[in-house]
Amino acid sequence: MAILLEVTDLHTHFSTPFGTVKAVNGITYTVNEGETVAIVGESGCGKSVGALSIMGLIADPPGKIENGHIRFMGEDLLTLTDEQLRRLRGRRLAMIFQEPMTSLNPLLTIGRQLCESLQTHLGYTRTEAVNRAAELLAMVGIADGGRRLKQYPHHLSGGMRQRIMIALALACEPKLIIADEPTTALDVTIQAQILELMKALTRRLNVALILITHNLGVVARYADRVNVMYAGKIVETGTARQVYALPSHPYTLGLMRSVPRVDQARLQRLIPIPGQPPDLTRLGRGCSYGPRCDFKTDRCDDESPSLVETAAGQCSACWNTKAVADSLGGGS
Amino acid sequence: MVTWIVATLVFFMLRAVPGDPLVAMLFDVGDPAAAEELRQKYGLDRPLFIQYVKWCGLLLQGDMGRSIYGSRVPVSTIIIEALPRTISLALLAFAIAIGIAIPAGIIAALRKNSFLDHATTLLAFLGLSMPDFWLAIMLIIVFAANLHWLPAIGYVPISQGVWPWLKHLILPAIAAGTAFSAIIARMIRSSMLEVIKTDYIQVARAKGLRKNTITLVHALPNALIPVITVMGIAFALLMATTVVIENVFSIKGLGRVLIQGILNRDYPVVQGAILVVSMIFIFINLLVDILYTVIDPRIRFE
Amino acid sequence: MQLATDDASRVDSPEDVSLLRRSRWTDWWLTVMHDKKALAGLVILAVFVFMGLFAPLIAPYDPNDMEYEMLAPPSRSHLLGTDDLGRDLLSRIIHGTRISFFIGFTTVALALVSGVFLGLTAGYYGGWRDHLIMRYIDLQWAFPNFIIAVYMVAVFGTGIFNLTIAISLAYVDDFARLARGMVLTIKQEPYVMAARAMGASNTRIMGTYVLPNATAPLIVQATVSVSYAILAEAALSFLGLGVESTTPTWGLILAEGRSFISRAWWVGVFPGLAIMLTVLSINFLGDALRDFMDVRETQDLM
C-alpha cells in the first residue's frame, strides 16, 4: 500500500503566560491509503493538536509548528502557502470534530453548508451541488434528503448532525479524513452507528482515516493500526491486534487496566493509573511517564526513551519493555 | 397599550408640576382677571380628570392641542414639520455609524492586538467619552468656521435637492452617530472574538472556505445577534444625541421642539414631542425584534 | 490579570499557597497597575477629584469674577483664557468639576440603591411585587434614559436638587432590571436552595448569598452609569436645563461660550476637554473592572 501521509518529527508548541506548552513534542508516523489509524491517549496528550497541525488549523499566535515535516500526497504541507493549503482542506483532507451540536453554523441551512464546499472546491453550480448534497445525505443514511437540506441545524439531533458532518467530510471525495473523538459527545447507542458508518464508508470509498479517541474499545474494533500518545509523544505503535493483545508500553498497559472490559470477570479490579499527566511546560529530560510508571528504573529519570521495535511492526518507547512483557507473560 | 400608558403618564406628570404655565405667561399679562380668562380659554380651570378625558379623545383623532405661545400653532403641525428633520438626521447618523462600526469591529477582532485593533479601541473609547454637543462644536469650528466646507447651522428639505439637504446634515450626523458607532464597533469586536472561537468557524476553516466567506457569511451574522439585542438600547443613545445635536445645529426637529417647549413651559408641545419620541423608540424596538427573527432561524420557528 | 496568572505559576510548593489568598482588592490594584488604560484612567480621575475637592484653593481666580479682559486668549496670567464676560476659564472649569462629580456619583448612588432594592424585591419574592415592579421597569424602558431626564427636568424644574432627582430616576430601571436578573439566576443555584432548605431567613439569604454574588455586574454597571450621568448633566446644562446659571458647570460654560467659538476657540475647546477626560478615565476604569470581574459586555451597555 502506498504511503499517503507521513508525519516526521512534528513539534507544535503554544506560548502561554505559564510558559511554552509543548503540546506535540516530536511525533513520527505514517498513514497508508485507505487505512484507519487510531491515535489514543488521555485528554491533553496532544492528539487533537497533532491533527490540527496536519490541517493547518493551529492558531498562530499562540500556537506554532516549530519543527518537522508533514508529507501528504507527496507535498510537504508545512511549505505550502495559506492559499494552497486552503485548496487542499475540505478537498483532499477533511476533518470531523468532536461536538456535532456546535459544529454546524446555526444560521445556515444544512444544504447551504454542504453545498458551499462543493461549490468552492469542485466549482459545482447551485443545482449540481444540491443534487450531490442530497446524494451525500442518502449515503450517510439520512432519508428524505431534499427536506433535510432546507432545515437548520437546530432541527436535528446530535447523531443526525454527526452524520451530516460525515457527509460534509466526504463531500469532495478526500483522501484522508481526520476524526477527532467523533462519538464522544453522542449517546452510547448512537456511537456504534456512527462508527460503523464511518468504517463502512471509508472502506468503500478507499479513504484513509485518522481516528482520534481515548476509547480502547473503539481502537480494537475499528482501527488497523494504533499510535498511543502520552505527553506530546508517541509511546507505542503497532497494529491494533498487537497492541491490544500484547501492549509493550507501561502506559498502554495502564490504559487497558483502567477501563472496564465486558470480556473480563466482574470481580476483576480496575487499576487506575496513579498521578496526573505531566505539566507540558516543564518536561524533564527523563521519560515523562516515569513518575506514574510501575516499571520505573533509574535510567528512566535520566534519559528519555525513543521508539524501539519490540515485535514486527510494533514499537515502544520504553527502557523496560522486557519487564512489561514478563508481567504479561506471568498471567493476568 | 404601552403607548396609552405612556401618554397617560406624560399627561399627569406634567399636571402634577408645581409650576403653572400661566405663571410664566402672567409676566406678560400681569393681571389676575386676565389670567383667569386665559385659564378658561385653555380649559385649565376644569377638573384634571375632565382635562384628561378630553385630551385622550383629541389625541385619538391625532389632535395634540395647540401651542400656548405665539400664534397658537397646532402641536400636530409643529411635529409633522419637525419629524422629517429628525428622521433625516437620525437615519443619516445611523447609516454613517453602522458603515464605520461594522468594518472597524470586524478588523479589530480579526487582527486582535494589532496596531489597528488598539487604534480602533482607543477611538471607540474617545467616541464614547466625548460629549456629543462638544464634538458638534468642534466640527463646526473646524469644518464650518475655518475651512468653510460645510454650513454650520440649518436644514434644507430634500425636496430642494439632495446635495443641499446632505450638506446641512453631514456634520450633525457625524456628531450624532459617533457614540452610537463606538458602542456598536466595540460590541461587534467582542462578539466576533467569541464567534471565531466557535466550533462551526473551525469547521468552516477545515472545509477550506475562503477567508472572506468565513468572515462575512459564517462569522458576521452570528456575531450580529448579540449586537442586535443591544441595538434597541444603543438607539436610545442615538435619540438622546439627536435631541442635543438638533439644538446645536439649530435644526428645528423634534429635539429642538422639545427643548424649546420645556424652556417656554409650553405643555402641549412638550407632551406631544415626548409622546412622539417614545413612540418612535417603541417602534424601533419592534423593528429590532423583527430583525432578530429574520436573522436567527432558531427564533423564527419557535 | 496577567500578573495573577504569573503568580499562580510561581506557586510550586504547598507553602506558597498563601500567595493565592491575596484579597480581591489587592488583585484589582495589581491589575490596574498593569493595565495602561486603567492606570491612565485612575491618574486622570484622581487629578479631577483633587481639583474638585480643593477647587477654591487651587483655582487661581474667583470663577465668577468678571474683572478681566474679555475673551482673552490663553496666556500666562489666564492659562486657559477668559470668557465673554471676562471670567477666568481655568477657575471656572476647576469649579465645574464639583458639580459634575457630585451629580455623577450622587445620581448613580441613588439609582443604584433604589434600583437594587426594587430588583431584589421583584426577583426574590416574585408574585405581585414582581408584577408591579416589572410593569414600572417596562414602562420606563419605553423611554430613552436621557429623554426621561429631560422630561423630569420639565416636570420638576431646573436646579441642582431637581437635576439630581431627574438623572437618578432615569437610571433606576437599569439597575432594577440587572439586579432582578441576577437574583433570578442566583436563586436557582444549589447553595441558595440548600440555605433555604436549612431554614435561613429571606433577609439572610439575600444578604449572604444573593447580594454578594450580584455585586460584580452591579459595580460595572454603576461605573458605566457614572460616565453617562456626567455626560447627561453636561448635556442638560448645555441645553439650559441644568443648574442655576451662577454655578459654573462644564456644560453651562460651553453653552455660554458657544456663540463666540469662531472668535475664541478656547471657550469651546477646554470645557469639553474636561468632560471628555473625566468620562474617558471612568470608562477606562470601568473596562478594567469588567475584565477583572469577568462581566460580559452585552449586559451593561447603558
pLDDT tens digits, one per residue of B250-267: 888 888 888 888 888 777
H or E segment at A210? strand A208-213
Query: Order of strands across the sheet with A75-76?
Result: A19-32, A3-16, A63-72, A75-76
Q: Which residue has the cell 392641542?
A: B65
> In this structure, which topology does domain A3-223 adopt according to CATH?
Rossmann fold (3.40.50)
Domain shared by B51 and B89, yes or no: no
Closest Cα in chain C, distance from residue A286 (Å): 20
Give chain B positions within 8 Å (CB) of C276: 126, 129-131, 134
Residue C244 has pLDDT above 60, yes or no: yes
Question: How buried is B60 (Cβ within 10 angstroms: 0-12 exposed, 13-18 middle, 19+ buried)?
Answer: exposed
Residue B25 has pLDDT above 70, yes or no: no
- Helix, strand or coil for residue C78? coil
For the residues A257-265, what does the mean pLDDT come to?
68
H or E segment at A288? none
H or E segment at C152? helix C145-156
- Give the span between the Cα atoms of C148 and C139, in whole angstroms: 11
Taking an 8 Å Cβ-Cβ cutoff, which residues of chain A contact chain C? 17-19
Is residue A28 within 8 Å of A9, Cβ to Cβ? yes
Read off the pLDDT band of B19 (50, 70, 90).
very low
Asked if C260 reaches chain B (Cβ–Cβ under 8 Å), the answer is no
Least confident among A8-12, A110-114, B165-169, C208-212: C208-212
Give chain A positions within 8 Å (CB) of C2: 17
Q: What is the structure's pLDDT at C293?
A: 74
- Closest by CA to C166, choosing from C240, C117, C229, C247, is C229
Q: What is the structure's pLDDT at A271?
A: 76
Ordered alpha helix ranges (H), A79-181: 82-88, 110-122, 126-139, 145-149, 158-170
Taking an 8 Å Cβ-Cβ cutoff, which residues of chain C contact chain A? 2, 5-6, 9
DSSP state of C143: S
Amino acid present at A229 = M
Read off the pLDDT band of C109 (50, 70, 90).
very high
Which residues have C-beta within 8 Å of that of residue B12, sequence separation ≥ 6?
B48, B52
Q: Where are the domains of chain C?
A: 37-70+77-301
Residue C12 has pLDDT above 50, yes or no: no
Read off the pLDDT band of C9 (50, 70, 90).
very low
DSSP state of A30: E
Read off the pLDDT band of B22 (50, 70, 90).
very low
Chain A neighbors (3+ CB pairs < 8 Å): B, C
Closest Cα in chain C, distance from residue B302 (Å): 23
Residues C191-225: tens digit of each pLDDT: 878 887 887 777 777 777 777 777 888 888 898 89
- Give the span between the Cα atoms of B38 and B68, in whole angstroms: 10
- Give the span between the Cα atoms of A137 and C249, in whole angstroms: 70
In a domain, B52, yes or no: yes
Residue C36 has which C-alpha cell?
495602561
What CATH number has the domain bearing residue B241?
A: 1.10.3720.10
- Give the span between the Cα atoms of A101 and A110, in whole angstroms: 13
Hey, are the CB atoms on A108 and B218 less than 8 Å from each other? yes
- Give the span between the Cα atoms of C263 and C96, in whole angstroms: 23
Residue A328 has pLDDT above 90, yes or no: no
Query: Does the bond joining A17 to the residue before it have cis omega, within 30 degrees of 0?
Result: no
Asked if B266 reaches chain C (Cβ–Cβ under 8 Å), the answer is no
Query: How far does chain A reach from its first CA to its final CA, in angstroms?
Result: 36
Give chain A positions within 8 Å (CB) of C5: 17-18
Average pLDDT, chain B: 79
Q: Across the interface, which of B126, B135, B274 has its CB nearest the CB of C147?
A: B274
- Helix, strand or coil for residue A227? strand
H or E segment at A70? strand A63-72
Q: What percent of chain B has pLDDT over 70?
A: 75
Closest Cα in chain C, distance from residue B162 (Å): 28
DSSP state of B74: B
Domain shared by B151 and B25, yes or no: no
Residues C247-291: tens digit of each pLDDT: 788 888 888 888 887 777 888 888 889 999 999 999 988 888 887
Dihedrals phi, psi of A215, to nearest 5 degrees: -100, 110
Residue B40 has pLDDT above 90, yes or no: no
Q: What is the structure's pLDDT at B262?
A: 84
Query: Order of strands across the sheet with A233-239?
Result: A93-96, A176-180, A208-213, A36-40, A225-230, A233-239, A314-316, A308-311
Least confident among A59-63, B17-21, C238-242: B17-21
Give chain C positions within 8 Å (CB) of B236: 144-147, 302
Please indicate, yes or no, whether the overall pTM of this predicted structure exceeds 0.90. Answer: no
- Closest by CA to C211, choosing from C171, C175, C257, C252, is C175
Q: Which carries the bigger pLDDT value, residue B152 or residue B16?
A: B152
Read off the pLDDT band of B98 (50, 70, 90).
very high
Rg (C-alpha) for chain A, rounded Å, is: 21
What angle, rounded to 10 degrees, do the helices at B267-295 and C145-156 form? 170
Residue B214 has pLDDT above 60, yes or no: yes
Domain shared by B55 and B85, yes or no: no
Asked if B19 reaches chain C (Cβ–Cβ under 8 Å), the answer is yes
Name the percent of chain A in helix, strand, coil, to the closest 5: 35, 25, 40
Q: Which carries the bigger pLDDT value, residue A105 or residue C37?
A: A105
Number of compact structural domains in chain B: 2
Residue B224 has which C-alpha cell?
450580529
In the stretch 38-57 of chain A, residues with CB closer than 8 A to chain B read 55, 57
Domain hosting residue B33, numbered range: 2-60
Q: What is the structure's pLDDT at C19?
A: 41
Read off the pLDDT band of B24 (50, 70, 90).
very low
Q: What is the structure's pLDDT at C301?
A: 39
Is residue A46 within 8 Å of A23, Cβ to Cβ? yes
- Give the span between the Cα atoms of C145 and B239, in whole angstroms: 10
Domain shared by B137 and B6, yes or no: no
- Closest by CA to C144, choosing from B258, B171, B100, B249, is B258
- Give the span between the Cα atoms of C59 and A118, in whole angstroms: 73
Closest Cα in chain B, distance from residue C27 (Å): 24
Q: Which carries the bigger pLDDT value, residue B8 or residue B42?
A: B8
Domain shared by B32 and B123, yes or no: no
Closest Cα in chain C, distance from residue B159 (Å): 30
Hey, are the CB atoms on C5 and A17 less than 8 Å from each other? yes
Question: How buried is B53 (Cβ within 10 angstroms: 0-12 exposed, 13-18 middle, 19+ buried)?
Answer: exposed
- Give the span between the Cα atoms of A194 and A167, in whole angstroms: 12
Q: Across the interface, which of A89, A99, A102 has its CB nearest the CB of B208?
A: A89
Closest Cα in chain A, distance from residue B298 (Å): 7
Read off the pLDDT band of C246 (50, 70, 90).
confident
- Give the span between the Cα atoms of C24 and C27, in whole angstroms: 5
Beta-bridge partners for C32: none
Give chain C positions within 8 Å (CB) of A19: 9
Q: Where are the domains of chain A?
A: 3-223, 230-327
- Closest by CA to A243, choosing from A235, A252, A251, A234, is A252
Residue C137 has pLDDT above 80, yes or no: yes
Domain shared by B99 and B7, yes or no: no
Hey, are the CB atoms on C2 and A19 less than 8 Å from each other? no
- Give the span between the Cα atoms of A240 and A238, in whole angstroms: 6
CA distances from A163 to A27, A136, C122, C267 (A): 31, 10, 46, 69
In a domain, B68, yes or no: no
Q: What is the structure's pLDDT at C213?
A: 75
In a domain, B170, yes or no: yes
Domain shared by B112 and B35, yes or no: no
Domain shared by B51 and B172, yes or no: no
Average pLDDT, chain A: 82
- CATH code matching the domain that covers C37-70+77-301, chosen among 1.10.3720.10, 3.30.2290.10, 3.10.20.90, 1.10.10.10: 1.10.3720.10
In a 13 Å sphere around the CA of A181, the CA atoms on its Cβ side amount to 17
Q: What is the structure's pLDDT at C106?
A: 93
Is residue A179 within 8 Å of A95, Cβ to Cβ? yes
Pairing of strands A308-311, A314-316: antiparallel
The CB density around residue A32, as the number of other CB atoms within 10 Å, is 16
Hey, are the CB atoms on C5 and A18 less than 8 Å from each other? yes
Q: Which residue has the cell 481655568?
A: C90
Is residue A190 within 8 Å of A202, Cβ to Cβ? no
Is residue A135 within 8 Å of A148, Cβ to Cβ? no
Asked if C155 reaches chain B (Cβ–Cβ under 8 Å), the answer is yes
The CB density around residue B191, as the number of other CB atoms within 10 Å, is 24
Query: How far does chain B reach from its first CA to its final CA, in angstroms?
Result: 24
- Closest by CA to A65, choosing from A53, A74, A77, A73, is A53
**Nearest-by-CA chain B residue for C151:** B274
Dihedrals phi, psi of A45, to nearest 5 degrees: -90, 0
Residues A267-287: tens digit of each pLDDT: 667 777 777 777 777 777 777
Hey, are the CB atoms on B213 and A116 less than 8 Å from each other? yes
Is residue C275 within 8 Å of B137, Cβ to Cβ? no
Name the percent of chain C in helix, strand, coil, to the closest 5: 75, 0, 25
Which residues have C-beta within 8 Å of that of residue A196, sequence separation ≥ 6?
none
Beta-bridge partners for A40: A213, A228
- Give the span between the Cα atoms of A178 and A194, in whole angstroms: 14
Buried b (16+ CB within 10 A) or exposed e, A91-114: bbbbbbbbbbbbbbbbbbbbbbbb
Domain shared by B278 and B246, yes or no: yes
H or E segment at A76? strand A75-76
- Give the span between the Cα atoms of B191 and C143, in whole angstroms: 27
Is residue C255 within 8 Å of C240, Cβ to Cβ? yes
The CB density around residue C49, as the number of other CB atoms within 10 Å, is 14
Residue C2 has pLDDT above 50, yes or no: no
